[in-house]
Structure 1
Amino acid sequence: MIKVYSSAPLSFQGQKRRFIKDFKEVLKKFDNITTVVDLFGGSGLLSHVTKRERPDVRVVYNDYDYFCDRLANVAATNEILSRIRPVLQGVEREKKVPAEQRAQILAIISEYSEKGYVDYITLGSSLLFSGKWAKTFQELSKETMYNVVRKADFDVSGYLDGLEVVHKDYRELFAQFKDDKDVLFLIDPPYLATDVVSYENYWKLSDYLDVLKLLVGTKYVYFTSNKSQIVELCEWINTNASIGNPFKGVEIRTQQNSLNYHTSFTDIMLVRE
């Protein structure tokens, strides 16, 4: 029996598990497609669901974040967690891990980091407060730990079955398929004005806006957030296109400001004489 996942088998920031029901309904409308290209594949959940719902189509999953490496190393992740669980005996569920046990946990993880690959994102989801992420041992060692380790091992069996997995810049992948009228593009870029710390690359406003060019003349399912206000922005531009770029040719000065030790922002002053 083919296993169907309703969420990614390992933690991933921004996966679309709450959209799965709607997404399945939308897929039924595209009865004339032969290929689905998941440009910003992330955890691969949309690709997985697409292949299960539409086994008749080719599904290309762009695993730019190399989620497949985390899946491939799940045995090591499960082994690490199996050694951590006894350390946490006596620590109340969802409570802060005391210093002594915390030091033991870090020693276990450090041992595995010296051997090779460690999935810090998955480990972090089992040891950090909800919403916290760590991608390195240094980041994990700075965070307060909580006993939120799952009791069962992670199971990722069959998750990528049937998918064509690639690792490319989304623009390169889009160029391969843009002239094919039987292709549906899944477009789920990192959201603006949203924490994207677990992604591999910094995502600027210009990067986000560049993606909009892919929507012209293509079949697509596009995801965004009300925090980005991209729909409102496009409507405003459509109404006020005649003004052009009001900042063209201005003098720009910046000042770096810090809110705390891990959060900073840049103030910008623009001047036109």
Structure 2
Amino acid sequence: MVSSSVTKIFKQSPLPFTGQKRYFIKSFCEVLNDNIQGLGDEWTIVDVFGGSGLLSHHAKRLKPHARVIYNDFDNYAQRLKHIDDINRLRQQLAEVLKGIPRKNKIDPKTHALIIETIKNFDGFIDVDCVWAWLLFSGNQAESLNQIYTQPVLYNRLRKSDYPDAKDYLTGVEVVSKSFDELLPEYVNNEKTLLVLDPPYLFSEQISYRKSKDFGLVSFIKLMELIRPPFIMFSNYRSEILDYFDYQIKRNDERFLNYKYTSISAPLNNVGFYRDNMIYKF
């Protein structure tokens, strides 16, 4: 059921974000419905590594009476406030790129005009969007200078404007805290669901800005803090299922009888990746 005051439901995050969980939304919503009755009264859902907020968005739409907390560690909510500027720059770049086929390399003259257009733009410039429009790499840029210094650019410009997202986080509480600061506030409430999508250990993480702050020690801290009910996402290389099984053998009842589902999803049009959604209520 959807909140009566909000009707639009996003199947993917409104602005580009590497690592969004759009392929898991159906399974995520099924687990919520199977384990949280009705509209979510008396429940709190904490999206600990919030990313693009897509999981928080769907949790609030599905369980509108629940308190949903989105830990925005990547300033995604700030990006959403500037969609008008982002679309305006996209339109200006579309004029410059007229006649250049999509996915083709941009010629030197047009390359220079692209950089000039961006530098002269009089509004908010979203680095992640510009990176997605002009480069093939799935990694996130840290600054515009990284884009300005690229020797080759490609026409990967989005064909249409991004959608209006003013209601995307309606009803969701936005915070920005480290996980080990946030979790102790909620782990002792049995009607608090922890949604956990940390950077994956033993996997390529450079597309996550937060990954440099999340290593083995952080993983150990996280494992010490979590308790059911939880929903946790992991890459198949992360060995998290093996870790859970090991903990169960050590009589750690927090992970006993956990369940999981797996999906394979396309990666940058050149291959697939496999992720797990692990949960216990």
In which range does the TM-score fall when normalised by the shorter chain? 0.7 to 0.9
2:162 equivalent to 1:154: yes
The alpha-carbon deviation at position 29 of structure 1 amounts to: 2.3
Amino acid at match of 1:147: N
On the 8 A contact 2:133/2:156 being kept in 1, the answer is yes
On the 8 A contact 2:133/2:157 being kept in 1, the answer is yes
- Tell me which residue corresponds to 1:248: none
The alpha-carbon deviation at position 109 of structure 1 amounts to: 1.5
- Tell me which residue corresponds to 1:231: 241
CA distance in 2, matches of 1:36, 1:100: 51
Provide, for residues 140-190 of structure 1, a one-character-per-residue CA deviation record: whole Å limited to 9, x for no partner: 123332111112111123111111111111122111111111110101101
- In the TM superposition, 1:109-128 aligns within 5 A as 109-112=118-121, 117-128=124-135
CA distance in 2, matches of 1:15, 1:151: 21
- Tell me which residue corresponds to 1:197: 207
TM-score, length-normalised on structure 1? 0.81
- In the TM superposition, 1:1-273 aligns within 5 A as 2-31=7-36, 34-112=43-121, 117-143=124-150, 144-155=152-163, 156-192=165-201, 193-200=203-210, 202=212, 203-216=214-227, 218-236=228-246
Q: Which runs of 5+ in 2 are unaligned?
A: 1-5, 252-281
Instruction: Pick closer, same or farther for the CA change 1:129–1:50 going to 2, 3 Å.
Output: same
The alpha-carbon deviation at position 111 of structure 1 amounts to: 2.3
The alpha-carbon deviation at position 70 of structure 1 amounts to: 0.7
Instruction: Pick closer, same or farther for the CA change 1:126–1:105 going to 2, 3 Å.
Output: same
CA distance in 1, matches of 2:70, 2:102: 37
Secondary structure of the corresponding residue to residue 37 of structure 1: strand
The alpha-carbon deviation at position 97 of structure 1 amounts to: 1.1
Amino acid at match of 1:6: K
The alpha-carbon deviation at position 16 of structure 1 amounts to: 0.3
Q: Give percent identity, aligned residues only.
A: 34
Provide, for residues 93-152 of structure 1, a one-character-per-residue CA deviation record: whole Å limited to 9, x for no partner: 11111111111111122223xx56421001111111152432211211233321111121
Instruction: Pick closer, same or farther for the CA change 1:157–1:179 going to 2, 3 Å.
Output: same
| Count of equivalent residues | 238
Say which one has the larger Rg: 1
Q: Which runs of 5+ in 1 are unaligned?
A: 242-273
The alpha-carbon deviation at position 240 of structure 1 amounts to: 9.0
CA distance in 1, matches of 2:123, 2:237: 38
On the 8 A contact 1:13/1:196 being kept in 2, the answer is no
CA distance in 2, matches of 1:57, 1:233: 31
CA distance in 1, matches of 2:181, 2:247: 27
